[in-house]
């Protein structure tokens, strides 16, 4: 199942969740291995605190997206206490003083810590775009635009 920019999806079967175009965006993959339920978020911006679209489109924001993804995973049978996270993306694609990528990564790390969800793998930063696939075995495969591949 394809997860677009600013979207999130949950899979409770053998389906693989994929997303591409991760530059400064961040992908947050959550899994409850015991319940065999996984979810993937492709967030563009760190926070939806002051945005009217946060309620209508939570996947656009790291904080609102993680909250929405945890809620959807719980509805699908996952236990929030058993969730594990893998995080990818957050590249510094442009030379800016207020780069979005590092802010997305920092927000994801803080939001997951506050939710009690451990990050068990990450591939973040640098200046390279990424594509990810999140398979039924709970492994997040990260392919960088430079050809490098990691399994988290």
What are 53-109's pLDDT values in tens digits?
666 789 999 999 999 999 999 999 999 999 999 999 999 876 665 689 999 999 999
Q: How many other C-beta atoms are found inside a 10 Å radius of the C-beta of residue 151?
A: 12
Helical segments of the chain, H only: 53-56, 62-75, 100-114
Contacts of 21 (CB under 8 A, 6+ apart): 5, 42, 129, 131
**Which three-class secondary structure state does DSSP give residue 133?**
strand
Distance CA 36, CA 148 (A): 28
Instruction: Provide the Cα torsion 105, 129, 80, 14; round to 10°.
Output: 180
pLDDT of res. 49:
73
Residue 102 lies in a domain: yes
Q: What percent of the chain has pLDDT over 70?
A: 93
pLDDT tier for residue 42 given thresholds of 50, 70 and 90: very high
Residue 1 lies in a domain: no
Residue 124 lies in a domain: yes
pLDDT of res. 57:
85
pLDDT of res. 13:
86
pLDDT of res. 95:
61
Residue 48 lies in a domain: yes
Count of domains forming the chain = 1
Asked if the model's pLDDT at residue 127 lies above 90, the reply is: no
Domain hosting residue 15, numbered range: 8-151
pLDDT of res. 81:
96
Asked if the model's pLDDT at residue 43 lies above 60, the reply is: yes
pLDDT of res. 39:
98
pLDDT of res. 11:
96
CA angle at residue 47 from 44 to 50, to 5 degrees?
120
Active-site residue set:
25
Q: What is the CATH number of the domain that holds 93?
A: 3.30.1330.200
């Amino acid at each position: 199942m394809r997860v677009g920019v600013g979207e999130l999806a949950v899979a409770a079967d053998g389906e693989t969740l994929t997303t591409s175009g991760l530059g400064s965006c961040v992908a947050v993959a959550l899994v409850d291995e015991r319940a065999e339920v996984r979810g993937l978020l492709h967030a563009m911006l760190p926070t939806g605190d002051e945005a009217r679209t946060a309620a209508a489109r939570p996947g656009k924001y790291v904080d609102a997206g993680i909250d929405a993804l945890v809620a959807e995973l719980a509805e699908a049978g996952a236990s929030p206490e058993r969730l594990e996270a893998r995080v990818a993306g957050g590249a510094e694609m442009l030379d800016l003083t207020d780069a979005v990528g590092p802010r997305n990564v920092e927000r994801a790390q803080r939001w997951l810590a506050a939710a009690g969800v451990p990050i068990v793998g990450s591939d973040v930063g640098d200046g390279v775009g990424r594509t990810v696939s999140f398979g039924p075995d709970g492994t997040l495969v990260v392919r960088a635009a430079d050809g490098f591949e990691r399994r988290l």
